[in-house]
């Protein structure tokens, strides 16, 4: 049910961006909406059997430029997830050792950012940051 609402939203955004709706673009959206974490492009390609990787790359890029997909740098690679238009606002903490991505959804951070920017008389409309470090599992195995 929730997926259907998201799909309708996606179709609306795609036409607002004057993009053509293609099977590949719809497939990418489906995969990202079901993904439990941001995906690398090769992971998207693997999950779209029968679609040429060049076509996947181009579609991801078109959706990214239209603001429907977010690109998250990770080392020399990028990972992709649906933009804030589809997912609730959140941040990521990514483990440098094993690559696990933890979703950070914390009102205290948002509150602190608001008050810090308000102090300088700035009204923030959006922000974006990523956190990198070592997860609990990798910290333990390094000891």
Binding mask 111-140 for Zn ion (x = CB under 5 A): ------------------------x--x--
CB of residue 88 to Zn ion, shortest distance in Å: 10
Structure tokens that stand for 24 in this block: 């590949």
Work out whether 97 is an interface residue with Zn ion (CB under 5 A): yes
Distance CA 19, CA 16 (A): 8
CB 26 within 8 A of CB 102: no
Of the pair 18, 115, the CB lying nearest Zn ion is at: 115
Q: H helices within 17-135, ranges in order?
A: 23-34, 41-46, 53-65, 107-119
Q: Is 87 in the site for Zn ion (CB under 5 A)?
A: no
> Cα–Cα distance between 72 and 130 in angstroms, integer?
8
Q: Does 93 bind Zn ion (CB under 5 A)?
A: no
Contact between 11 and 3 (Cβ < 8 Å): no
CB 81 within 8 A of CB 87: yes
Q: In whole angstroms, how close is the CB of 129 to Zn ion at the nearest point?
A: 8
Stretch that binds Zn ion, among 19-27, 35-43, 52-60, 97-105 (CB under 5 A): 97-105
Binds Zn ion by CB under 5 A, chosen from 3, 98, 116, 131: 98
Of 17 and 97, CB closest to Zn ion: 97
Among 95, 102, 103, 130, binds Zn ion (CB under 5 A): 95
């Amino acid at each position: 049910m929730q997926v259907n609402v998201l799909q309708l939203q996606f179709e609306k955004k795609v036409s607002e961006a004057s993009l053509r709706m293609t099977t590949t673009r719809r497939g990418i959206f489906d995969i990202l909406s079901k993904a439990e974490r941001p995906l690398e492009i090769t992971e998207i390609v693997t999950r779209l059997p029968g679609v040429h990787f060049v076509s996947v790359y181009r579609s991801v890029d078109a959706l990214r430029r239209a603001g429907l997909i977010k690109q998250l740098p990770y080392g020399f690679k990028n990972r992709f997830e649906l933009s804030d238009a589809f997912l609730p606002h959140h941040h990521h903490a990514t483990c440098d050792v094993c690559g696990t991505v933890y979703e950070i959804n914390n009102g205290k951070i948002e509150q602190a950012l608001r008050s810090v920017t308000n102090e300088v008389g700035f009204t923030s409309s959006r922000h974006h940051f990523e956190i990198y470090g070592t997860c609990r599992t990798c910290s333990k195995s390094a000891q």
